[in-house]
Amino acid sequence: MSNKPTTAAKTTVTRDVAKLDVETGNVYESVAILGRRADQISVRIKEELQSKLEEFAMSGENLEEVYENREQIEVSKHYERLPKPGAQAVQEMLEGKLYWRRGGEEKPVAEAPAPKA
């Protein structure tokens, strides 16, 4: 699978709020940034999963013809075991990998846009 390796927790972890607002100086702004980043991660994962599951799509499926496909099940299980997007966003912020902009002010942003060719 082509997901980036992450050290994000796969289960619920209690976080120290004081560590979350170190970057921004405001815990509410940090939470807003984390929410936006989690949405980006969620969309990326969903697109990857959809593209991989399209390989298994069959045209003209009948209910009687549906069978168990082990490869498809393994792909689905892999994505189910991934850390939640919110946990990945928090981990990125704690590691200093998140970047954002605030009103013309340049700050460290999640994934920099690819250069246009």
If one compares 59 and 94, the residue with the highest pLDDT of the two is 94
Angle between helices 27-54 and 70-81 (to 10 degrees): 170
pTM beyond cutoff 0.75: no
Q: Provide the residue range defining the domain that includes 50.
A: 28-58+66-106
Question: Is 34's pLDDT higher than 80?
Answer: yes
**What torsion, rounded to 10 degrees, do the Cα atoms 42, 48, 51, 56 define?**
-100
Question: Is 32's pLDDT higher than 60?
Answer: yes
Task: Examine residue 100 and state whether it is found in any structural domain, yes or no.
Answer: yes
Task: Examine residue 54 and state whether it is found in any structural domain, yes or no.
Answer: yes
Confidence tier at 1 by pLDDT (50, 70, 90): very low
Task: Examine residue 9 and state whether it is found in any structural domain, yes or no.
Answer: no
